Amino acid sequence: MRRTSAERGASAVEFAILLPLVLLIIGGIVDFGRFFFAKIELTNAAREGARAAVVTTGTPTPGPTERVITALPGVAAPTIAINPICATAGSTATVTVSVSAPFEWMVLKPAMNLVGGAGALPPSAGGKAAMRCGG
């Protein structure tokens, strides 16, 4: 079947229209994958810190904060909150550890800025863990 002169280049135009949308979808998938990986990494680090806080009494070595930082290689500035640290043996308090770090959206933030919706993306990722004293 022969194409008429009016049909020539139609597929190139369709490709040019759809390519940015396809690339945005792929970039969004990658960005959300990175975000969920960071969230899982922060949750695991919080779990490490909570475990370090509950298995020893007094001042554990290494401390819960150091355990969290060790569990987060490559994370620049995590915010760590530990409440409380088990002070005495036999305590039944619950230790909660919260860890958060800033997250940079590489593809979706610039795309959302174009349409005015950059505030819809969370600026940081975080994780929490809670354990009872006594391990």
Per-residue pLDDT of 32-87, as tens digits, reads 999 999 999 999 999 999 888 887 666 656 788 889 999 998 887 899 998 877 76
Q: Which two tokens stand for residue 82?
A: 């530990």
pLDDT in the model for residue 113: 86
Give me the mean pLDDT over the 91-100 stretch: 87
pLDDT at 37 (0 to 100): 93
At 109-120, the pLDDT tens digits run: 888 888 887 788
> Which residues contact residue 87 at a Cβ distance below 8 angstroms, ignoring those fewer than 6 apart?
57, 58
**Residue 128 pLDDT greater than 70, yes or no:** yes
Sorted by where each begins, the domain ranges of the chain are: 10-132
* Alpha-carbon distance values, 98 to 6, 49, 52, 68, 82 (Å): 62, 9, 14, 10, 7
User: Is the previous residue joined to 62 through a cis bond, with omega within 30 degrees of 0?
Assistant: yes
pLDDT given at position 119: 81
More confident residue, 45 or 135: 45
More confident residue, 35 or 2: 35
